[in-house]
Chain A
Amino acid sequence: MRAKLEEALLPPIVALLIALIVGDVLILSFGQSPAAVFRLLLEGTWGNAYGFGQVLYKATMLTFTGLAVGLALRAGLFNIGAESQLAAGGFAAALVGLVLPAGLPALLVLPAYVLAAAVGGGAVGIVPGVLKARFGAHEVITTIMLNFIVLALLNYLIAERFSVHDTLHTAEIKSGALPRLADVFPAFHGSAANTVLFLGVLVVAALWWFLFRTRAGFELRAVGLQPRAAEYGGVRVGRVWWTSMALAGAVAGIGGLNYVLGYKRYYEEGFGAGAGFLGIAVALVGRNHPVGIVIAAVLFATLSQGGLAVNALVPKQMVDVLQAVVIISMATAVPEVRRALLAIRPAASAKATA
């Protein structure tokens, strides 16, 4: 158990340390004090209610997209399409919002929105899944290409059909809009944090249970680890591929509610702002574990919000560099570090058991 926890936690911690060192060097090269910059970064994020609210909002988005990537990865698939799945989910919800009459209570219409977003995202996710199961088309290629197709299609629909004059967003949803956190805690005033956050927590718990406590999860993980052994174990590998891609798309799609239902109450072109792609990094750092993904999402949200806070001292692109360093260290450097650590340890542990 200890070894398992260590294996899960060591790489992200080492990655963060490397990012911290690179960050220090960068800050010094701008003639600023690292301590001052990092203090400002923390004050602008966790130090006040507005900043913290923004972190929560962004973390919610990244949790959904991170789960969409991580879930597919558990089935052995690289889902690079969370960006378009997120957008399609948000768009579907906005369409439902245009249809539903005003004044219906949130509790009544909320399930309809969740369903619409899940179906919208799931429809985009299922395509690469089916293409792989049926024709062996590689999902990395198809999800990337589908991003272009879906986003372009949505842009067209918004621009030509659904936008309010002179904008690139739909008309405002009249029914079932969710309260923002600021409505309950006035300190959050101005921040985008909203109650979709709790929906995110629910989805995290549900996916954990699904992956580790259900037969379908057992089979999905088996396919991801050893597809040939899964096949031997009576699992229909192709079916797991397309169902897991559909589910991943649905999860990303529900993430669209964070903007459409919780924040602006309309669909606007490009609202995802790269959250789908950053979800890949979130899943990687979170090691495809629902809880790990939440932690990673909060981390990346902090960095991205913190970038705005430190802009006075250093260019905000610095945090993009930090994010990139975290991703690169997770993907490459860390296994080397771990191997080096493991090479030292046998001697020590042999002594301990003797």
Chain B
Amino acid sequence: MIRLAGIEKRFGPVLANRGATLEVSAGEIHALVGENGAGKSTLMRILSGMFQPNAGRMEVAGKDVTGWSTAEAIKAGVGMVHQHFMLVPTLTVTENITLGAELTKGGGRLDRARGRAEMQALIERTGLHVPPEHRVADLTVGEAQRVEILKTLYRGAKVLILDEPTAVLSPAEVNELWRVLRKLRDEGGTIVLITHKLDEVMAISETITVMRQGETVGRLKTASTSPAEIAKMMVGREVVLAQRTADTRPKAQDPRPQAVAALEVKDLTVPSARKKNAVDGISFSVAPGEILGIAGVEGNGQTELIEAIAGLRDVASGSITMADTDISRLSVRKRGDLGLSHIPEDRHERGLILEYSVAANLILGQQHRFTKRGALDVTRIAEHARRLIAAFDIRPADASLPARALSGGNQQKIVIAREMGGARDFKILLASQPTRGVDVGAIEFIHAQLRAARDAGKGVLLVSADLNEVLALSDRIAVMYGGRVVAIVPGASATAEALGSFMTGAAA
């Protein structure tokens, strides 16, 4: 059905795909797995016509379709459901689904009645239940995702590509999604599922393609493999799965109970654009010399919590205290001066100014410390950059390059160097998805940095979508679900299974 061979895709200096291959037969559910940044999404965007490959060959249903456009892909029945929804929030479900393929009765007038009828039929047939007359802005994330799938099916997709569809779903919604996907397959559809979660792979797929650093490293039958084998292929060595129980587990030393917490959050409520609060009355504290990990399905308020602590989002009520100072109304700069460092989850939007040089990025947020009577102190900025580039092994070691020119791992090192080794003597570090989209070597480096900060008596608040990362690093683990902390457990005794049931809200 689908055959991709020798696909290469380059973005500037970065090679996202190098010789990637993929084979999917008609009527199966195929899992495309790999770590963040392995090139899965890029490969699927090439298949769906969003990107054109620099080299390689693509075949769909026996025809050469190398470098086709999205329009051609849709016409041939290949549709992709993206990780980030591409919906118009102010339009209704029906309007969103029919957008660009509207039914008209002469003179360009919309045939609303027929549109509604078709929508109802599609919803019945697929079992993807959403209220067709509601505005997309009023839907839950799970419902919005169903709209995305319906939109793709409405255009006649027979090959459905889903990019990390469960990242934003609750466990119940995940089960519902599996049911729908199986039904689509039974009716002759072909499904490619991008994921890095192994339990999902085992639960739903029939065949598996594993990618690592842009390459396809293996093709497996789900029935005859194990999570350990897949994980090994993904990472390229004996794996974290086994490793974390043994030597990477934090030493059993209890976080000493301290008189003053490095960070204390009390009854914090943060409003959201939807009706429900994004953060709904959360309390916890981080002791000096402790890593508190926050586990949870993405979209359960983690982003809003971190932004509220960092000063990037207004809080409705509650307090955020650092060493007895309530910082919840202070400016971002004042919080930084009090010793709050922040590795933001999106380095391209928040953490770096991509057009600025590495040296300029290394002072972002601390620029007032590199100023003499209003003027930038160029000499000290250069010295500072030289020191951090050497200490954090940022490559290439050229402070004048724009941050845009560096690889993902090295860009993240700029952020980490600035926040952890910069001019600020930090007391608490907010680390949000610190290893997202960086290569394996950089992941280990970043983990070592976080442990070193903890050992130096700093408080670390870690948020990660990667449960293994949270388990490997945390002294205590808080689980967020629906804007609340539903459990706080010691890291030493936590298991993925136990956390998983909290993350679904089941055990709460």
A interface vs B, CB < 8 Å? 209, 213-216, 218-219, 222, 225-226, 228-234, 236
Contact = CB atoms under 8 A, between A and B. Distances in A.
Contacts of A215: 367-368, 370-371, 374-376
Given A232-B312, A233-B365, A236-B331, A216 B351 contact: no
B331 A229 contact: no
Nearest to B337: A234
B342 interface: yes
Interface in B318-359: 331-333, 336, 342, 344, 349-356
A229 B349 contact: yes
A208 to B, nearest CB: 13
B211 interface: no
Given A228-B349, A229-B350, A234 B332 contact: yes
B364 interface: yes
A56 B143 CA distance: 64
Contacts of A214: 371, 374-376
Given A229-B350, A234-B333, A236-B331, A222 B376 contact: no
A209 B378 CA distance: 13
Contacts of B471: none
B371 A234 contact: no
Interface string B380-396: 00000000000000000
A109 B367 CA distance: 38
A226 B365 CA distance: 13
Majority SS of interface residues in chain A?
Answer: helix
Contacts of A219: 367
Contacts of B367: 215, 218-219, 233-234
A215 B371 CA distance: 7
Nearest to A222: B353
B364 A229 contact: yes
B351 A229 contact: yes
A140 to B, nearest CB: 22
Contacts of B376: 213-215, 218
A218 B360 contact: yes
A228 B350 contact: yes
B356 A232 contact: no
State the 7 A-B residue pairs at the shortest beta-carbon distance, nearest first: A234-B333, A233-B364, A233-B365, A234-B332, A232-B350, A215-B371, A229-B353
Contact of B356 (A213, A225, A234): A225
Most buried by A among B368, B375, B378: B375
Interface of B: 310, 312, 331-333, 336, 342, 344, 349-356, 360, 364-365, 367-368, 370-371, 374-376, 378
A213 B356 CA distance: 14
16 contacts: A214-B375, A215-B368, A218-B376, A222-B353, A226-B353, A229-B349, A229-B350, A229-B351, A229-B364, A232-B350, A232-B364, A232-B365, A233-B364, A234-B331, A234-B367, A234-B368
Given A213-B378, A214-B376, A232-B364, 12 more contacts: A213-B376, A215-B374, A218-B367, A229-B351, A229-B352, A231-B312, A231-B332, A232-B332, A232-B351, A233-B365, A234-B336, A234-B368
Residue among B344, B367, B371 with the most chain A CB within 10 A? Answer: B367
B344 A232 contact: yes
A234 B341 CA distance: 12
Contact of B353 (A216, A230, A234): A230
A216 to B, nearest CB: 7
B310 A232 contact: yes
Nearest to A236: B331
B67 to A, nearest CB: 15
Given A215-B368, A219-B367, A233-B364, A226 B375 contact: no
Nearest to A230: B353
Nearest to B418: A233
B368 A222 contact: no
Contacts of A236: 331
Nearest to A227: B349
A236 B349 CA distance: 16
Which interface residue of B342, B350, B353, B374 has the most chain A CB atoms within 10 A? B353
Nearest to B370: A215
A319 B63 CA distance: 55
Given A215-B368, A229-B351, A222 B356 contact: yes
Contacts of B312: 231-232
Contacts of B368: 215, 234
B261 to A, nearest CB: 24
A231 B364 CA distance: 10
A234 B342 CA distance: 12
Contacts of A216: 374
B354 A226 contact: yes
Contacts of B349: 226, 228-229
Contacts of B336: 234
B358 to A, nearest CB: 14
Nearest to A217: B376
A271 B368 CA distance: 42
Nearest to B311: A234
Contacts of B365: 232-234
B403 to A, nearest CB: 10
Point out which of A213, A218, A236 has the most chain B C-beta atoms below 10 A from its C-beta: A218
A225 B355 contact: yes
Contacts of B333: 234
Contacts of B355: 225
A226 B355 CA distance: 9
Contacts of B350: 228-229, 231-232
Contacts of B342: 232
A234 B312 CA distance: 9
Contacts of B364: 222, 229, 232-233
A231 B335 CA distance: 13
Nearest to A216: B374
A180 B283 CA distance: 71
Nearest to B334: A234
A230 B365 CA distance: 8
A216 B375 CA distance: 8
Contacts of A213: 375-376, 378
Contacts of A232: 310, 312, 332, 342, 344, 350-351, 364-365
A236 B352 CA distance: 17
Contacts of B374: 214-216
A229 B404 CA distance: 14
